[in-house]
């Protein structure tokens, strides 16, 4: 059983909503290219979720923006700071249940003025928000440290039921991280370990879709393997 350890507070990004109105009124925006001093990405949320424990009916624009900015904060933090991961593989013979912890090493704070809305659009019952995050010097150094080392990137896919609400999409990112980690370790470790500890970062924003009653995410991460604990004689 996977255990998810993200902790979020309820917040509303008023600055994002204000930016949204300004951008909508201003018309088309100039194109932005990726650079070392910024991160950009597009994030979405469903306007009429199949399962929503917090709301019923079509989401308000304020709620839709808040949810996309919440996801942006998680993903961009995962690209800059990364996660501490602890994974205990399932072992039926030893009666050990699977456990998975994904702990953000740091999070972009709510209301960070460097997180800006560039553009918004609605398509196929989804609200899309294009985000730009201006990096501070210490954040640029973190990105450079991950990109300059010899760690390879590897992909994984994760699926979580829609019954978990909109945050189940974040859970599918965790599952993608777990499966990428397993794929990375498969050729290296022949015997099932007791526990694996690693630090990982998103190499790029996860790609998520909805199909067959679940969120399906593809992630690509870089892995800094910290410890592989073997079982003692069994």
The pLDDT tens digits for 65-103 are: 899 999 999 999 999 999 999 999 999 989 999 999 999
Residue pLDDT, tens place only, 133-169: 999 999 999 998 888 778 889 999 999 999 999 999 9
**Residue range 3-12, pLDDT digits in tens:** 444 433 333 3
The pLDDT assigned to 151 comes to 86
Q: Which two tokens stand for residue 88?
A: 């205990």
Question: Which 3 state secondary structure label does DSSP give 140?
Answer: helix
Q: What percent of the chain has pLDDT over 90?
A: 63
Helical H segments across the chain, by residue range: 14-26, 61-80, 137-148, 168-185
Least confident stretch, 38-42, 97-101, 188-192: 188-192
pLDDT beyond 60 at 49: yes
- Name the 3-class secondary structure at 165: coil
Residue 126 pLDDT class (50, 70, 90 cuts):
very high
Lowest mean pLDDT among 54-58, 77-81, 226-230: 54-58
How far is Cα 17 from Cα 25, in angstroms, rounded to an integer?
A: 12
What are the distances in angstroms from CA 232 to CA 20, 28, 67, 191, 198?
Answer: 57, 62, 45, 11, 21
Residue 29 scores a pLDDT above 60: no
Q: Would you state the pLDDT for residue 21?
A: 38
The residue with tokens 């679940």 is 214
Cα radius of gyration rounded to whole Å, the chain: 19
Can you give the pLDDT at residue 5?
45
pLDDT at 191 (0 to 100)? 86
Across 32-36, 107-111, 196-200, least confident range: 32-36
Report the Cα 34 to chain-centroid distance in Å: 19
What is the average per-residue pLDDT within 105-125? Answer: 93
Q: Is the pLDDT of residue 106 over 70?
A: yes
Per-residue pLDDT at 16 = 41
The model's pTM is 0.81
Which residue in 190, 187, 189, 182 sits closest to 155, CA to CA?
A: 182
What does the DSSP assignment read for 80-126? HT-EEEEEE--BTTTTB--EEEEEES--PPTT-TTEEEEEEEEETTE
């Amino acid at each position: 059983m996977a255990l998810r350890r993200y902790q979020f507070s309820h917040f509303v990004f008023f600055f994002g909503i204000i930016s949204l109105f300004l951008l909508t009124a201003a018309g088309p925006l100039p194109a932005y290219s990726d650079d070392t001093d910024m991160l950009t990405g597009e994030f979405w949320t469903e306007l009429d979720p199949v399962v929503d424990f917090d709301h019923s009916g079509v989401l308000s624009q304020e709620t839709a923006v808040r949810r996309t900015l919440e996801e942006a904060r998680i993903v961009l933090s995962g690209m800059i700071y990364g996660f501490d991961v602890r994974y205990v593989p399932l072992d039926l013979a030893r009666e050990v249940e699977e456990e998975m912890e994904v702990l953000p090493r740091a999070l972009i704070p709510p209301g960070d003025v460097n997180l800006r809305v560039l553009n918004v659009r609605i398509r196929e019952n989804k609200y899309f928000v294009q985000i730009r995050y201006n990096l501070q010097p210490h954040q640029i150094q973190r990105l450079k440290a991950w990109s300059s080392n010899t760690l390879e990137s590897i992909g994984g896919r994760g699926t979580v039921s829609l019954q978990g609400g909109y945050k189940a999409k974040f859970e599918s990112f965790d599952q993608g991280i777990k499966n990428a980690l397993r794929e990375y370790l498969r050729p290296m470790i022949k015997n099932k370990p007791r526990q694996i500890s690693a630090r990982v970062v998103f190499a790029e924003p996860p790609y998520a879709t909805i199909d067959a009653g679940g969120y399906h995410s593809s992630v690509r991460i870089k892995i800094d393997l910290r410890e592989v604990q073997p079982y003692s004689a069994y």
